[in-house]
Amino acid sequence: MKKIGFIDYYIDEWHANNYPTWIRESSLRDKFDVSLAWEEFSPEGKKSIEEWCKEQKVGKASSIEEVVEHCDAIVVLSPDNPERHEDLADLPLRSGKPVYVDKPIAPSLAAAESLFEKAERHGTPMMSCSALRYGSALEAGIKEKIAGHPVSYVGTRGGGAFEVYAIHQFEMLVMALGTGATRVMQCGNDSVKLMLIDYPDGRRGSVTLIPEHPFQLSAHYGGEEPLVIDAMDDFFPRFIDAMLAFFESGVSPIPKEQTLEIAALIEGGTAALKSPDRWADVR
């Protein structure tokens, strides 16, 4: 049984609260389990690391060093504070052991590039993505309909705050539309965020954040009818299987170029929020 270690900004958050159970229920449950966990601090109103470890049946680590030393694979969480990923992932990415960095990998392209550079320099396998990537309907639609066709437009929709939840839509968009965006524009209003994504070859994308809206994707790809995906209810179990398969193989299934593109879109989209109805560069 290989040991997985959790490193988090604060451990009482939705991903850390659910990943252990999903890992223990996964198709690779006989090969992996969560062994140790460490948090940087415990905010007021949140469970302490001691409470969390007792409930989750996970050992409490006294340091990041302990997690890295005693575990075979490492999950760097902090899904709502990606600005902490560079610090929290520093020792794991020097370890040579497989590291999953939770979504979004970083709030800027430079930070994402820094993480990849460190991982590559130390021979450390690294994976980072939105779990939505592994929705079966999305995967099937892209592989069976879009693959091999020139995609001209992709629109995605979902809920939540841009800073935390736009990653899910960007993941879908980049999977379907590809990389190479050069500029973005935020043209929504106080209630809805609408971001346009422009490409030099004429491709266009849109990301719409509507409060409480389910995740959806529509794509025009030159087929007889557009691709429309609105069934996204099985992505978390399939994502956990993919993460564990990565821990086993040491090979990330996600193209580095796509992860970097997503980081660039997050950075450009965040900048565009400050200047609505104007184009902002995607670097």
pLDDT tens digits, 167-194: 999 999 999 999 999 999 999 998 999 9
pLDDT at 166: 93
At 283, the pLDDT band (50, 70, 90 cuts) reads confident
Tally the residues of the chain.
283
Helix axes 109-121, 256-273, angle to 10 degrees: 150
For 46, counting Cβ atoms within 10 Å of its Cβ (0-12 exposed, 13-18 middle, 19+ buried), the class is: middle
In CATH, the architecture of 2-128 is: 3-Layer(aba) Sandwich (3.40)
* Average of per-residue pLDDT values in the chain: 96
Kindly give, in sequence order, each residue whose CB lies less than 8 Å from that of residue 104, ignoring residues fewer than 6 positions away: 82, 128, 130, 167, 262, 263, 266
Same fold, 2-128 and 133-232+265-281: no
Percent residues over pLDDT 70 in the chain: 100
Amino acid at 205: G
pLDDT at 176: 95
Q: Which of 40-44, 82-86, 221-225 has the lowest mean pLDDT?
A: 221-225
At 231, the pLDDT band (50, 70, 90 cuts) reads confident
Q: How far apart are CA 84 and CA 81, in angstroms?
A: 6
Domain ranges within the chain, ordered by starting residue: 2-128, 133-232+265-281
Nearest to 103 by CA among 55, 37, 172: 172
Pairing of strands 183-186, 279-281: antiparallel
Q: What's the whole-number mean pLDDT along residues 197-205?
A: 97
* pTM, full prediction: 0.96
Fold of the domain spanning 133-232+265-281: Dihydrodipicolinate Reductase; domain 2 (3.30.360)
pLDDT at 163: 86
pLDDT at 278: 97
